[in-house]
A and B are shown apart, each in its own frame.
Chain A
Amino acid sequence: MQHLLEFLRKYHYLLLFIALEILSLTLLVRFNNFQGNVWLSGANTAVASVNRWYLDVWSYLNLQSANQSLTSYNTRLQLENDRLREALLTLQADSARKASAVLRNLVDYETLPAKVISNSKGGSNSYIVIDRGQRHGVRGDMGVVSGNGVVGVVYLAGEEYSLVIPVMNNKSNISCRIQGQRYFGYLTWDGKDSRHAYVDDIPRHAHVEKGLTIETSGHSSVFPPGIFVGTIETVENSADGQSYKLGLLLGTDFANLRDVNVITTPYKAAVDSLFKKAAAEDELHQ
């Protein structure tokens, strides 16, 4: 305190000078446009740079919490991504809808579940072997379907196993129609791609467009009507130009076929016996 008072006594004029100088300069920048503007812009620059420096330091100090929140956000997104990916996987069983639709059409029929044992691919005459045979009630010319649609027709039934002619076989000849329409044609396969087949003999006046559903017609007496076969992918003219040839995307993926159902209802037999009876009566009348 003593020193301070001494200092003040000795240098009081300096303090007075500073005070008066500050007063003068305040007046100067307050009442003179030019100096005032220079002062303001200079002060603004100084304030802005100090503010920016402060902000830089502040954001640097906040980096850790920003990092934490980013990490937790990232984790949350990762979890959500996993969950959605899983949901997407289950959603791919969109075939479930089709499977239920296929099975709904078979509700009045007896079906026998079977497993595909061998699936000889390649060549235009591939066969499928299933683990059910005559002992289980499988007979020749029974229809075989999977959850995704028509698979084929039983060709030969052994004691324990059966041989199925799939759709993708040149011998296969299943009667099909466009869903909701009466026009029908025959399902054929060109031996190239197991996912794609054709329907021939659709009349030109049929209303055909891409995406329509092709189902069994029921005329072949192997399959009940209304079983899903595939969807129309291309519409072409047939070779003779008299009808349409429809390119199909088959519902059944033969490369990935595990579980099938054999339609064991004596439907075919009943119809066949009716045909035989009719034929016999025709002969009688003649």
Chain B
Amino acid sequence: MSQSIFSYFAWGIALIALQVLVGNHIHIGGVAMPMFYLYPILILPSDTPRWVLLISAFLTGISVDIFSNTPGLTASALLVVALLRPVILQVFAPTERGDDALIPSVRTMEWSGFVRYTSAVCLVQATAFYFIEAFGFFRLGSILLSIVATTLLSVVLISAIEMLRMRKA
């Protein structure tokens, strides 16, 4: 268990680093920005207490924010994700499984399930992120474009990371 906590912690640090060193500098067309930092939140087991989810989401978000010079922005969006993640996971979890906690991954959910789950979480995160960034409902067109583009890019990149982790494991 301590092994897995350490593992999640390591993944968190690594992906925050990836986010602030690489992700934050990628703005494809000025609309699409990869959200690597979602990955540690994505792969937490389904029996993770909600408060742990919220706290880790907050810490992750604040860490990213500090390096992106946007205090509170990522954190507030990521909190929404952490709140909704149990529900989303419930929806996309495979129906035929035991009582064991589900650890979301390609191995447990198949590619289709994992990609759909990741897409949903990314969509929630991107929506929350861009609306909180805009702090209102003006320039709706560019916000929606940013949401779609960011979601697509993030899903692709997170799938790539998932593929890497699977191959390594």
Contact = CB atoms under 8 A, between A and B. Distances in A.
25 contacts: A13-B49, A13-B51, A13-B54, A14-B83, A16-B54, A17-B54, A17-B79, A17-B82, A24-B62, A24-B72, A24-B75, A24-B79, A25-B72, A25-B132, A26-B72, A27-B71, A27-B72, A28-B71, A28-B76, A28-B132, A30-B71, A31-B72, A32-B71, A35-B133, A38-B135
A27 B136 contact: no
Contacts of A38: 135-136
Given A25-B76, A26-B72, A28-B72, A12 B132 contact: no
Interface residues of A, number: 21
B76 A21 contact: yes
B135 A35 contact: yes
B90 interface: no
Nearest to A37: B135
Interface residues of B, number: 24
A21 B135 contact: no
Interface centre among B62, B72, B132, B133 (most CB of A within 10 A): B72
Nearest to A24: B76
Q: Which 5 A-B pairs have CB atoms at the shortest separation, nearest pair first?
A: A27-B72, A28-B72, A13-B50, A24-B76, A31-B71
A20 interface: yes
Nearest to A27: B72
A109 interface: no
Nearest to A31: B71
B70 interface: yes
Given A27-B72, A28-B73, A34 B54 contact: no
B57 to A, nearest CB: 8
A39 interface: yes
A23 to B, nearest CB: 8
Nearest to B58: A20
B71 A13 contact: no
Given A21-B79, A24-B58, A28-B76, A16 B51 contact: yes
Contacts of B133: 35
Contacts of B58: 20, 23-24
Contacts of A35: 73, 132-133, 135
B34 interface: no
B15 to A, nearest CB: 19
A16 B53 CA distance: 10
B61 interface: yes
Given A12-B51, A38-B135, A39-B135, A17 B72 contact: no
B134 to A, nearest CB: 9
Given A24-B61, A25-B72, A27-B65, 16 more contacts: A16-B50, A17-B54, A20-B54, A23-B72, A24-B58, A24-B76, A25-B132, A27-B62, A28-B70, A28-B73, A30-B71, A30-B72, A32-B70, A32-B72, A32-B73, A38-B136
Interface string B69-106: 01111011001101100000000000000000000000
Nearest to A28: B72
A259 to B, nearest CB: 90
Nearest to B49: A13
A21 B135 CA distance: 14
Contacts of B136: 38
A13 B73 contact: no
A14 B70 CA distance: 24
A147 to B, nearest CB: 87
Contact of B135 (A17, A26, A31, A34): A34
